[in-house]
Amino acid sequence: MATADHSPGRLKVFIGMAAGVGKTYRMLLEGHAEQEAGRDVVIGLLETHGRAETAQVAEGLAIIPRRRVRYRETVLEEMDLPAILARRPELCLIDELAHTNAPGTENPKRFEDIEAALAAGVDVLSTLNVQHLESLNDHITELSGIRVRETIPDAILGRADEVVLIDLTPEALLERLRAGKVYAPERIDAALNNFFKIENLSALREVALRQVAEEVGAKRLTTELVGSREESLAADAPHAVGERLLALVEPYPGAQRLVRRAWRSAQRLGAGLDLLWVRAPGKALSADEQRSLAALRQLASVLGARMIEEESDDPTTAIVEVAERRGTTYILLGSSRPARGLARLRVPLPQRLMQRLPGVDVRIVADRSQRANGESAEGP
Amino acid sequence: MNVAVIVVVACAGALLGIAAGYWLPPHGRMPARERVEGERRILLPFTGEEISRRSFEAAVRLAKAENAIIMPAFLARVPMNLPLETALPVQCARGMPLLEAIEQRASSQGVPVDSRVGRGRSARDALRKLIEQEHFDRIIVSADEDPRAGLSYDDLRWMLDRVPAEILILRPAPEDDRRISTEAVKGHF
């Protein structure tokens, strides 16, 4: 039984690129190991999907039976959260973290059930496919052409004490699929023709590896800072790890280049990207500027960036406010036109931003066409 | 007398400096060259990771001759099961470097560039939407069945029927195997 002090339980998530990589199997093996070490372990919910080897490895672990939930004319089987909370094991194995519960249960989503168990002091092992992460859903849908409807907020994974990647090469997974180790024989052809294509799996594997690498990096930074004198830094660590870029744009053709560069940087950092245009109050746009603005909005939408438009007489203050509001860690801007007259005495915008936004990197994006001048920019 | 003149000239200079310094609004940072309106525009649509070098060079020649702007346009395809407004990071990972390569190469030859991204259910649908929103005087495309290079023959026929602009379709030639590709990008883009 869990201790009565109600210290929250620990969550360990086994994540993988797709069904069939062995997440549930590995979770069950860990359950056995914990049980052999003397802990009270139960299975709260297990989805074997008819896989004999998974069912076999579950033998020897106590299972809390599912409960029946009536929904319209159907009877559905769901995890019995009240029974788990009443039993209060030390460790509970709960498969499929992203599952949506039937109406009429305590919580709409299984991750909320898991949070309840953790709050009751129960340690939880769970499983997740990477396409169920909310922030990756669009990306993976575009990769695979299949939209996954059950998603969980990324913060749930961020809250996990441990994230373990269950990795398998796409070739090995396809071999398992063809051997009938993932789905029943009648579903194999459909799976091979839809989701389980080598290019899909390769892309998903890359996403899963990247996701876990980011989680590990985030955890490491937090761990290094916790316990040090700089406790305020530790509190800020999750924000510091979650990079967010802000590109300062204006409706003119060169802004597209800046946005592309910012997007590439955001991709490399795994960061979100905002575009900001600070418009002078009452400023009328020329026809060309209107077209450029429409093109910028379109580019932002296609890239998945957020276009923010602010009206202000004081661009620096407007930029600072947006950067603070959005948790910006990098600001990118194009090179300025040389100042004239006494404007030379004015502190340049990058310096003003650095003074007012300590801790935010400011990057001036060069015009590469100047560098390319005189060279051949031809592909092979 | 001389001192008074010097003082007056200095004051006038200072006033002019102040006027010049503050006359420029803080928003006006972009080079004046890129704000020119009313120039001719040449659309250079593409769908993949590379573009025919002949069509690019034709666009540059015409742009120089007509003092025109080249508008390279990446046409992204949205799968039917996704909303039309969806972000397309995977396709953009292919299209953005090529836009950058085209822009770098054209700019290095003194030709201004104003890039676009079109989005639709097909390349033709994306082009149709772009045509509805944008003004341009000419389109340059390469007649090439290779989908990596651009539009299909059917798309070209559709353009001839529907697009209200001059259309320059370049006949395939031996040198068409030379392309501007994403590998042409200078720097770490």
Going by C-alpha positions, the residue among A103, A101, A125, A104 that lies closest to residue A42 is: A125
Average pLDDT over residues A173-195: 80
Q: Which residue has the higher pLDDT, A211 or A298?
A: A298
- Token look-up 């020329």 returns A286
Q: What is the mean pLDDT of residues A300-325?
A: 92
Q: Which of A333-347, B4-18, B27-41, B76-90 has the lowest mean pLDDT?
A: B27-41
Residue A119's pLDDT is: 93
Q: Which of residues 127-146 of B touch A (CB under 8 A)?
A: 133-135
The CATH number of the domain where B82 resides is what?
3.40.50.620
Please check whether residue B142 is in contact with residue B170, taking contact to mean a CB–CB distance below 8 angstroms. Answer: yes
* Counted domains in chain B: 1
Residue B129 domain flag: yes
Residue A282 forms contact with B (CB below 8 Å) = no
Q: Are B68 and B39 in contact (CB under 8 A)?
A: yes
In chain A, % of residues over pLDDT 70 = 84
Find the CB nearest B105 among A145, A345, A372: A372
Looking at the complex, does the CB of residue A142 fall below 8 Å from at least one CB of chain B?
Answer: yes
Asked whether residue B9 is domain-assigned, the answer is no
Residue B35 lies in a domain: no
Task: Answer whether B63's CB lies under 8 Å from B82's CB.
Answer: no
- What is the structure's pLDDT at A208? 79
Element (H, E) at A94: strand A91-94
Contact across the interface for A147 and B81, Cβ inside 8 Å: yes
A280 contacts B25? CB cut-off 8 A:
yes
75-104 in chain B: CB under 8 A from chain A? 76, 79, 81-82, 85-93, 96, 99-101, 103-104
B112 touches chain A (CB under 8 A): yes
Size of interface A-B (CB pairs under 8 A): 187
Helix, strand, coil fractions of chain A, as percent rounded to 5: 45, 20, 35
Q: Which of A254-258, B36-40, B90-94 shows the highest mean pLDDT?
A: A254-258
C-alpha pair distances (Å), B111 with each of A220, A296, A375, B117: 49, 21, 15, 19
Higher pLDDT, A334 or A233: A334
- How many other C-beta atoms are found inside a 10 Å radius of the C-beta of residue A171? 11
Average pLDDT, chain A: 82
A222 touches chain B (CB under 8 A): no
What is the Cα–Cα distance from B8 to B147, expressed in whole angstroms? 70
Give pLDDT, residue A124. Answer: 96
* pLDDT of A372 strictly over 70: no
Name the maximum alpha-carbon separation found in chain A. Answer: 83
Distance from CA of A52 to the nearest CA of B (A): 34
When pLDDT is averaged across residues A194-215 and rounded to a whole number, the result is 75
pLDDT bracket for residue A238 (50, 70, 90): very low
Asked if A374 lies within 8 A of B108 by C-beta distance, the reply is yes
Identify which of A253, A337, A377 has the shortest CB distance to residue B104. A377
Q: Is the pLDDT of residue B23 over 60?
A: no
* Contact between B183 and A346 using a beta-carbon 8 Å cutoff: no
Between residues A378 and B62, the one the model is more confident about? B62
pLDDT tens, position by position, A27-59 = 999 999 999 989 999 999 999 888 888 889 999
Confidence at residue A270, expressed as pLDDT on a 0 to 100 scale:
78
**Where is pLDDT greater, at A360 or B4?**
A360
**A interface test, pick of B11, B16, B27 with most A CB neighbours within 10 Å:** B27
Check CB contact of A268 with chain B, cutoff 8 Å: no
Cβ-Cβ contacts under 8 Å, A137 against chain B: none
ipTM, 2 dp: 0.75
**Interface contact flag, A139 B90, Cβ < 8 Å:** yes
Nearest to B35 among A252, A291, A339 (CB): A252
* CB-CB under 8 Å, B101 with A377: yes
Nearest to A295 among B116, B181, B187 (CB): B116
- Sign, CA dihedral B36-B37-B39-B42, equals positive
For residue A100, give every residue at least 6 positions away whose Cβ sits within 8 Å of its Cβ, in sequence order, or none.
Answer: A108, A109, A110, A149, A150
CB A314 within 8 A of CB A306: no
Quick one: closest CA in B to A305, which residue?
A: B87
Q: Which residues 306-365 of A have a C-beta within 8 angstroms of B? A: 315-316, 334, 336-337, 339-346, 349
Q: Which tokens is A253 given? A: 């053709």
B27·A283 Cβ contact <8 A: yes
**In this model, does residue A371 exceed pLDDT 60?**
no
Strands A244-248 and A91-94: unpaired
| Chain A residue with minimum CA distance to B135 | A291
State mean pLDDT over A209-223: 60
* Residue A273 confidence (pLDDT) above 90: yes
CB contacts of B12 in chain A (<8 Å) are none
In the predicted structure, residue B176 carries a pLDDT above the cut 70: no
- Residue among A138, A146, A288 whose CB faces B87 most closely: A138
Q: For residue A375, is pLDDT > 50?
A: no
Residue B52 domain-assigned?
yes
pLDDT beyond 70 at B46: yes
**Who has greater pLDDT, A145 or B136?**
B136
Q: Counting Cβ atoms within 10 Å, is residue A279 exposed (0-12), middle (13-18) or buried (19+)? A: middle
In a domain, B104, yes or no: yes
User: What is the percentage of chain B residues whose pLDDT exceeds 90?
Assistant: 20
Task: Please give the residue range of the domain that contains residue B101.
Answer: 40-173
Out of A292, A339, A379, name the one closest to residue B181 (CB): A379
Measured distance CA(A157)–CA(A305) in Å, rounded: 23
The structure's pTM equals 0.56
**According to the model, what pLDDT value does residue A43 have?**
96
Percent of chain A with pLDDT over 90: 38
Cα gap A23→A28, rounded to integer Å: 9
pLDDT of residue A232 exceeding 60: no
Residue B29 in this model has a pLDDT that exceeds 70: no
Residue B56 lies in a domain: yes
8 Å CB contact between A223 and A215: no
Which pLDDT belongs to residue A27?
95
Q: Is B183 helix (H, G, I), strand (E, B) or coil?
A: helix
d(CA B124, CA B156): 9
Q: Give the Cα-Cα-Cα angle A369, A375, A376 (nearest 5 degrees).
A: 100
Indicate if the pLDDT at residue A3 is higher than 70: no
Distance CA A157, CA A135 (A): 12
Q: H helices of chain A, where?
A: 23-36, 52-58, 81-87, 110-119, 137-144, 154-159, 170-178, 185-193, 198-225, 231-241, 254-269, 287-303, 315-326, 349-356, 368-371
Work out the pLDDT band at A221, boundaries 50, 70, 90. Answer: very low
Q: What is the pLDDT of residue A190?
A: 78
Q: Which of A298, A377, A379 sits opposite B117 (nearest CB)?
A: A298
Cα B143 to chain centroid, rounded: 20
Residue type, B60: V
**Beta carbons of B180 and A345 less than 8 Å apart:** no
Q: Quick check: A157 and A128 in contact, CB under 8 A?
A: yes
Lowest pLDDT segment from A41-50, B16-25, B82-91, B140-149: B16-25
A302 vs B31: CB contact, 8 Å cut-off?
no
Average pLDDT over residues A218-231: 43
What pLDDT, on the 0 to 100 scale, is given for residue A66? 94
Q: How many C-beta atoms surround the C-beta of residue B32 within 10 A?
A: 8
**Is the pLDDT higher at A191 or at A311?**
A311
**Token code pair at residue A102:** 């039937």
- Among chain A residues, the shortest Cα distance to B36 is held by A288
pLDDT at A61 over 60: yes
- Give the residue from B23, B92, B133, B178 with the most A CB atoms within 10 Å of its CB, the best one to mutate: B92
pLDDT tier for residue A241 given thresholds of 50, 70 and 90: very low
Q: Which of residues 145-174 of A touch B (CB under 8 A)?
A: 145-147
Q: For residue B5, give both structure tokens.
A: 């003149």
B142 in a domain, yes or no?
yes
pLDDT(A102) > 60: yes
| Residue ranges of domains in chain A, CATH in brackets | 11-235 (3.40.50.300), 243-371 (3.40.50.620)
**Looking at CA atoms only, how far is residue B129 from chain A in angstroms?**
12
Q: Which residue has the higher pLDDT, B177 or A110?
A: A110
Distances (CA, A) of B67 to B15, B40, B60, B111: 38, 7, 10, 8
How many residues does the structure list for chain B?
189
| B163 within a domain of the structure (yes/no) | yes
Q: Do the bridges between strand B50-52 and strand B69-77 make them parallel or antiparallel, or are there none, so unpaired?
A: unpaired
